Amino acid sequence: MDLESEPLRRRRGAELEDALLAAAWDELIETGYAALTFDAVAHRAGTSRPVIYRRWPTKAELVRAAVDHTMLRDLPVPPDTGALRTDLIALMHFANEHRAGFTVLLSYYLGPYFQETGTSPADLRESAFEHRSTGADLALDRAAARGELDPARLTPRIRSLPFDLYRHEALMTLKPVPDDVIEEIVDEIFLPLVQSTEREGSR
């Protein structure tokens, strides 16, 4: 029987694509990249292999799309606490609750994918967030508009620094990042790099 002919499984457009990518992600974290198959993803999604092949002709393309989909799902609304420090801490607390295991999962389950494609977790993140602002970007831009930091100091490397440090800590410990480490990243490392001279002089 053609699975697509069953009434309960007649999905189209974004609904179908979401179901396929969610199934691919679930299969990935259950079996790993090497063991993932189109048949297994199709069975989990309640559809057929050709439906998947038409969108993503290779396993690597399917997995990349599934990772992008998962990265961009349920992104936090950037908090606006009125201060950069508390905005960043709130974002990291959100990451602890919803994203702490994500980098670990990528590194653990996607080793064969990175080897096959010659890419890295950084490449996947860059692909997912291309032309998109992250919550941290929006918090930094608001802080610059308030005069809380010096925009000239916000190089791409500095912009990514607090969450690069956060992800490194999560990857090294395989646990959510403790509050004292979050505050150390923000207070002792990041803010001294970006605060405007005027604010530093007034402290």
Mean pLDDT of the chain: 86
- Domain range annotation of the chain: 3-69, 76-202
148: DSSP letter: S
| pLDDT tens-digit map of 173-184 | 888 899 999 999
Radius of gyration in angstroms for the set of CA atoms belonging to the chain, rounded to a whole number: 20
pTM of the full structure = 0.76
3-69 CATH, one of 1.10.540.10, 3.30.1950.10, 1.10.10.60, 1.20.1250.20: 1.10.10.60
Q: How many helices (H) and strands (E) does the chain have?
A: 13, 0
| pLDDT tens-digit map of 64-116 | 999 989 888 767 677 899 999 999 999 999 988 887 667 677 777 888 999 99
Task: State the pLDDT at residue 135.
Answer: 86
Bridge partners (DSSP) listed for residue 195: 149
User: Which amino acid is it at 10?
Assistant: R
Mean pLDDT in residue range 20-33: 93
